[in-house]
A = this chain, B = another copy of it.
Amino acid sequence: MELKLSELADRLELALDGDGDVVITGLAGFQDAGPGDLTFVDDPKLLKQLDDTRASAVILSQGHDVPVPALRTADPRAAFAAALGIYAPDADRYLQPGVHASASIDPSADLAADVAVGAGSVIGPGVSIGAGTRIAARVVIEADVTLGAECCLYSGSVIRERCRLGDRVILQPGAVIGSDGFGYHPGPAGLIKIPQIGIVVLEDEVEVGANSCVDRATTGETRIGVGTKIDNLCQVGHNVSVGRFCAMSALSGISGSCTLGDGVTMAGQTGVADHLTLGNGAKVGARSAVTRDVPDGMTVMGYPAVEFQKAFRLIAHYQRLPELAARVKELERRLEERSAPDHDSGEE
């Protein structure tokens, strides 16, 4: 794609500063940007390097001189994200319109007129799919699933029976929605499977990452709230309720029956034990594991996770343990010396 910078300025509704005839052929991060690229700067440290940029144009805030044409905005990152939308490849190329001849669609499924279904995808009986939803290749949507409008299901994702997805939901490749919750009952000869007859509800604008799993509820629902984003290889257990606008980074897990409020952030490789509540705005630091409820707005870290300032203090003490042990040894030595019956202590 090629656009003049002036055209981009119009489409992004940004102030143009410099030569609008520069042709922008691509977008790149600041360090990688070369001729033809539009980049952006919002990191003060990078501002100093502006004179050396090889980019053809830059998005940045007012008040900084640059040797190349610029688009001005108070939020360069947001404007760059919008520019990425303009330069994104045409979705029709890889999520082709229409229903592919090799897709298997049950006659009782109800698809809006413009739904796209890729090769080899399977849509079961009683499924309902809203307008503008695109389904890539080899997706499976089992019986009685309801999908809203303008969803995007990437290749290889699976939605098991009766789950409900809102509008504009995105499933990355291999995501699994509605697998059985991990529930067993101890019987006389081993574990007896507890049937998991509930469902999963993904509200509007939820995104689930590649190969992540959201288990169906034993009864009732496992629910992920509006706008919550789940990264790759995450696990959400049965009967969990996640609020709105949460973010969960890769390789993290939420055990069964937990409740997360709105705006909760879980960093990478974190975990939450079962039946816990994380309040609105709670944050879980990377690699941490939560073993008790977290109040609204608190950031926790470590395992077991504690308030993050305490966690940092504990880590600092931990890393000084050899010194602490040496100091104790020295105290013992000095005290021992004192205790010694009145021999000559001249060495001290």
A88 / chain B contacts, CB cutoff of 8 Å:
195, 197
Instruction: Tell me the residues in window 224-274 of chain A with beta carbons closer than 8 Å to chain B beta carbons.
Output: 226-227, 229, 231-233, 235, 237, 239, 244-245, 247, 249-251, 253, 255, 268-269, 271, 273
Residue from B102, B176, B195 within 8 A of A211 (CB atoms)? B176
Interface size band for A: 35 or more
Complex interface: chain B residues within 8 A of A279 (CB): none
Q: Is the CB of A93 within 8 A of B143?
A: yes
The reply to whether the CB of A29 lies closer than 8 angstroms to some CB of chain B is yes
Query: In the complex the two chains form, is A209's CB within 8 Å of B143's CB?
Result: no
Interface string of A74-89 (1 = CB under 8 A from B): 0001100100110111
The reply to whether B190 and A180 form a contact with Cβ atoms under 8 Å apart is no
Could you list 30 A-B pairs, sorted by A, with CB under 8 Å?
A: A28-B219, A81-B195, A93-B143, A94-B124, A102-B104, A119-B122, A120-B140, A122-B155, A124-B137, A140-B155, A154-B158, A155-B158, A158-B174, A174-B211, A176-B210, A182-B231, A189-B227, A190-B244, A211-B212, A213-B250, A231-B235, A232-B235, A249-B255, A268-B273, A286-B289, A287-B289, A306-B319, A314-B321, A334-B335, A335-B335
A130 within 8 A of B: no
Residues of B within 8 A of A29 (CB): 218-220, 239
A324 interface residue per 8 A CB criterion: yes
Task: Spot the interface stretch: A13-21, A56-64, A325-333.
Answer: A325-333
CB of A138 within 8 Å of the partner chain: yes
Chain A residues numbered 121-173 whose CB sits less than 8 Å from any CB in chain B: 122, 124-126, 136-138, 140, 142-144, 154-156, 158, 160-162, 170, 172-173
CA distance A286 to B88 in the complex (A): 39
Whose C-beta in chain B lies nearest to the C-beta of A142?
Answer: B94
- In the complex, the count of this chain's copies comes to 3
The answer to whether A325 touches B322, judged by C-beta atoms less than 8 angstroms apart, is: no
In the complex, chain B residues whose CB is within 8 Å of the CB of A269: 253, 269, 271, 289
